[in-house]
């Protein structure tokens, strides 16, 4: 099942995978769109939505931005010409943006976390977030707020029915 959603003035995007856990574990400060350098078998697996972003992160190395721990399942018809499932993958961004991000990541507590991966105009893109890790009490507070909001909505709905 593919979710295609378009925004005004933008080409339709086909969502491949989303990292929902990232929004629970991190405060999202800024979001960037990056291209990915992939092999043919990786693209075929992405088209089948066989990817997992959980526990993946990006880092700069030698002036390049690399994505680590993103799992793209093997594409069976590729056979022995397939790809390594968890290899580091190069991300494409402007040099100034990479330098700016690497400076921010050096600050205490910041990480580069992928939020979602999608196709835009036939090209694989990844939404990368500059994020600061939440502590346990932050997570508990967010869950309490969410539960309270659900309870209010439930009561409001019950009141409308009468």
Distance from C-alpha of 67 to C-alpha of 86, rounded to nearest angstrom: 10
Do 134 and 27 form a contact (C-beta atoms < 8 A)?
A: yes
Residue 151 lies inside a defined structural domain of this protein: no
CA distance 74 to 142: 37
Which whole number is the average pLDDT over 65-75? 90
Q: What is the pLDDT of residue 2?
A: 44
Structure tokens at 150: 């659900």
Instruction: Look at residue 143 and tell me if it is in a domain.
Output: no
- Mean per-residue pLDDT, 23-29: 86
For the domain that residue 119 is a member of, what is the CATH number?
Answer: 2.40.280.10
Cross-strand pairs, 112: 58, 130
HEC readout, 48-79: CCCEECCCCEEEEECCEEEEECCEECCCHHHH
The answer to whether residue 27 sits within a structural domain is: yes
Number of structural domains (the chain) is: 1
pLDDT bracket for residue 4 (50, 70, 90): very low
In a domain, residue 55? The reply is yes
In a domain, 88, yes or no: yes
Domain range for 40 is 11-135
> pLDDT per residue over 76-115, tens digit each?
888 788 787 888 999 999 999 998 888 888 877 788 999 9
Which pairs from 78-85 meet CB under 8 Å and 24+ separation?
A: 78/40, 78/41, 78/44, 81/41, 82/41, 83/39, 83/41, 83/42
Percent of the chain residues past pLDDT 70, beyond the cut: 93
For residue 144, being part of any structural domain is answered with: no
């Amino acid at each position: 099942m593919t979710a295609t959603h378009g925004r005004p003035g933008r080409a339709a995007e086909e969502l491949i995978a989303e990292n929902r856990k990232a929004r629970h574990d991190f405060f999202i400060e800024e979001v960037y769109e990056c291209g990915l350098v992939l092999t043919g078998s990786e693209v075929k697996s992405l088209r089948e939505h066989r990817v997992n972003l959980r526990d993946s992160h990006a880092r700069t190395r030698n002036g390049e931005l690399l994505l680590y721990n993103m799992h793209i399942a093997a594409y069976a018809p590729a056979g022995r010409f397939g790809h390594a499932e968890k290899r580091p993958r190069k991300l494409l961004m402007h040099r100034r943006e990479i330098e700016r991000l690497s400076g921010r990541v050096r600050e205490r507590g910041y990480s580069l976390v992928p939020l979602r991966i999608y196709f835009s105009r036939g090209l694989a893109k990844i939404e990368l977030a500059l994020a600061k890790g939440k502590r346990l009490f932050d997570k508990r507070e967010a869950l309490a707020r969410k539960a309270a909001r659900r309870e209010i909505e439930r009561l409001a709905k019950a009141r409308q029915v009468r």
